[in-house]
Amino acid sequence: MATKHEAEGLVTPSTRAEAVTSSQDDNQSPRTLKDSAPSLFWRVGMPALLLTIPLAYVGKSDASDEMGTTKAWVVLMAMTVYLDGRERSDFGDDVREVLQIASTLWPISFAAVLGPTLKTLALYSAERGSRLGLLEFLLSSQTTFATLKNLVVRQHLSIWTIGIGVIWCLSPLGGQAAVRSLHPRPNSTTHYIRAMHYLRSNISDIVRFYQGNQPGDDEGALWGGSGQSMLISGMRSIVVASFSSPDILVSHGNGSSVDFTEVAYSFGGADGVGRLGRRDLWQNVRVPYLQLLPGYKAEKPHDWVPVPEWAVPWVSLVGIPIRGGSTIGAGNSTMVIQSHYQTLSCGAEFNGTDWVTEGSEKLSFHDTRKGADPLHLQEGQDNPNGAKPNIFIDIVNSSRAITEHNTQWQGLGRMQEPTSKLELIVGGVCSNGLGESAYMLRTCKISTSYAEVGVVCTRLGESDSLQCHADRVRHTPGRPISGNLTAISSNLLLGRLIYEFPFITASYHLGQSSAIERYLWDPPTSFGFRGSGPTINPGCFPNVSTEEYQARLSTALNTVIMSTYNATVLKGAEGASLDGRNFMWHNTTAEWSRFTDDVYVLSRAWFAMAMLSTVVLLGCAVANVAIRCFIKAPDFLNSVTGMTRDSPYIQVQPLGGSGVSSCDRMLDVKDVRVRICDVRPESEVGKIALTTNVDSPKLDWRRTYS
């Protein structure tokens, strides 16, 4: 780095003759500095006009106003504070529109104020003595990028230069802060209201319903007698409709079905399938299969598990009816309901021909003493069902288990938990294609899971219906994780479910698979034979893993059990009143948030940034005016005319002498032609300079210049 004296030596002095000529030129028309300087208006008044930029944005015509009045926002930040917490209005939207325009103009306005301020500061520093590096930094830092480049490339690092860099950073931040400081937000009022759901997880309620012996209770569709004759058609219609809903094609099929991706794509992907399956056909809320959710941890059964957005395994195709939980208008509600469902733990498939041969006592309900009659015809020989299912179900004949589950009990006095589990038998005839066939069976232990379900409901508009879905689920605290008392512990339900389950979706054509059988084989085949459906042995499932089979069978079994509920309730036809309902309905509390008019919200962080930027901008404008009042030197640092002062190679004679500012000097010399060329063409070593001698030779790459 050159010392002060070395730096002074870098300035080439003019010759004596040139200096005399320059002195004579300066004395041609000597004037006082005051006479040569621009007027006070041009020196101070014009910079003062920049004060209007940070002070106000004025004038916006409202075309919708019938009087054609003009609205003005003198201080936008004050209007922003005023609108905080107020309802959305045309006036507020106009203010936000102006803020958006202001954010676009902010970088331009910021540069229009800060740039001249830095030039004024450079002139003030030069008049009082300054380093060339600082003057260069002040004069060239006219944009944010130029300032940052000067800091990095030219390494003008000091407290002042870093401070100027920080101020320039307020240029982009200030514009964003203005537009982000105020935004509308949906407003809502929250209060707690009554809601009801159908058949919760109290064991006493479960026993009471499935036993069906209390006056005034809802009748189950499989209770027998004249009630069953009247209600069985409603139950069957619900089951058939449930196994005909589109989402069944991907139920328990994710990752286990060849056609899952293709079918899911037709529904909008996994997310679309997830949304489609949240509710049943009658808008009842489906319960997620807790044990199959990705976030479930067996060691933490009472932790809430979120229900994912994509395809979810559901415990039943029939959902839980919910009533209430909202008032008139758009809004959201949340509540917690209780539910229960049956789970199965199945073993491997085995040859169980000896279980169904004449004389076997391993089945509880199918009478093998009736010889060679097909199993599905052995119940009700006087009035056989014309349908021809390919599977059958039964209960393992265990006197201990049947006694413990008290399938013949009456009344509510005995509700103790059995110590053993009922075992379900599922099977059908399988052929090897060589004329040989066998009964292939599976045994499945039946358990009951008690679940609490977090439900979220939304109504988008006053005329829209309330849309509810399960948002989270967990095991009910205080209930068995895998209870032995089940819905089919009741002989009233079990004795008829054994025969109804295979028949309800069966075909009347021998060997044709039913909807339930196709669902157990592969859900995408539920509506027909897609891919490799059960075309030969519709009652056999050799290619279905035990995990997939027991999950699908659980859903099918729960669907049939829940379809025995009051069909009028399941279809939502019992009315909306919450009063006068029987024990099947249970109260819960819903947190209802009703949407009201949007309100404006002030972002305090962005508002503080906008205010800081405005104050800094105003301070720069004031500083520009104040510093201008103390400057006496002519301003020739911000113009090319400064290069023509005192140069022996610029032959101009402007009026006013050296006290003339660059703007006034430019008026005199604007038509003078100049050129960068070799001003010493006759010397062996040339010299490059800006000169008015435009006839001098051009620069040459091979010539040496001093």
pLDDT tens digits for range 185-218: 877 788 899 999 998 777 777 777 777 656 667 7
Domain presence at residue 696: no
- DSSP 8-class letter at 196: E
Rounded CA separation 655/21 (Å): 16
In a domain, 79, yes or no: yes
Any domain includes 9? no
Question: What residues make up the domain containing 472?
Answer: 210-576
- For residue 560, is it within any domain? yes
The pLDDT assigned to 8 comes to 36
Q: How far apart are CA 281 and CA 457, in angstroms?
A: 17
686 domain-assigned: no
- Domain check: are 172 and 234 in the same one? no
441 and 477 inside one domain: yes
**Residue 288 β-bridge partners:** 314
Question: Which residues of the chain have a pLDDT value below 70?
Answer: 1-75, 130-133, 154, 156, 212-216, 223-228, 253-274, 311, 369-385, 406-415, 433-435, 528-535, 632-646, 653-668, 670
Q: Whole-structure pTM over 0.85, yes or no?
A: no
**607 with 485, same domain?**
no
Give the strand pairing for 305-306 and 70-73.
Answer: unpaired
> Are the C-beta atoms of residues 458 and 567 closer than 8 Å to each other?
no
Give me the phi and psi of 692, to 5 degrees please: -85, -5
Cβ–Cβ < 8 Å for 290, 473: yes
| Residue 203 in domain | no
Task: Give yes or no: residues 411 and 512 share one domain.
Answer: yes
Q: Are residues 253 and 133 in the same domain?
A: no
Identify the domain boundary among 633, 649, 681.
Answer: 633
Evaluate whether residue 417 is within a structural domain: yes
Is the domain of 158 the same as that of 252? no
If asked whether residues 173 and 242 sit together in one domain, one would say no
Q: Which residues pair with 73 in a beta bridge?
A: 57
Per-residue confidence (pLDDT) for residue 25, from 0 to 100: 46
Do 545 and 610 sit in the same domain of this protein?
Answer: no
- H-only helix segments in 373-514: 399-405, 491-503
Q: What residue has token string 């339930």?
A: 516
Q: What is the pLDDT of residue 74?
A: 44
Tokens of 687: 């010299």
Same domain, 171 and 219: no
Q: Same domain for 222 and 144?
A: no
Of 633, 655, 671, the residue at which a domain comes to its end is 633
Amino acid at site 426:
V
* Same domain for 214 and 161: no
Q: Both 455 and 319 in a single domain?
A: yes
Q: Where are the alpha helices (DSSP H) in 13-158?
A: 16-26, 33-36, 40, 46-49, 52-55, 76-83, 90-128, 132-140, 144-152
The helix/strand/coil state of 169 is: helix
Query: Which residues, 6+ apart, have CB-to-CB distance to 390 below 8 Å?
Result: 428, 429, 502, 506, 511, 513, 514, 517, 537, 538, 539
Predicted confidence at residue 23, as pLDDT, reads 41
**Residues 443/425, Cβ–Cβ less than 8 Å:** yes
Number of domains the chain is built from: 2
What tokens appear for 200 in the block? 């919760």
Residue 13 domain-assigned (yes or no): no
In one-letter notation, the amino acid at residue 242 is S
pLDDT computed for residue 344 by the predictor: 96
- In the listed set 614, 633, 652, which residue is the last one of a domain according to the structure? 633
- The candidate with the shortest Cα–Cα distance to 32, out of 626, 625, 634, is 634
Strands 391-395 and 688-691: unpaired
Closest CA to 310 of 279, 264, 271, 275: 271
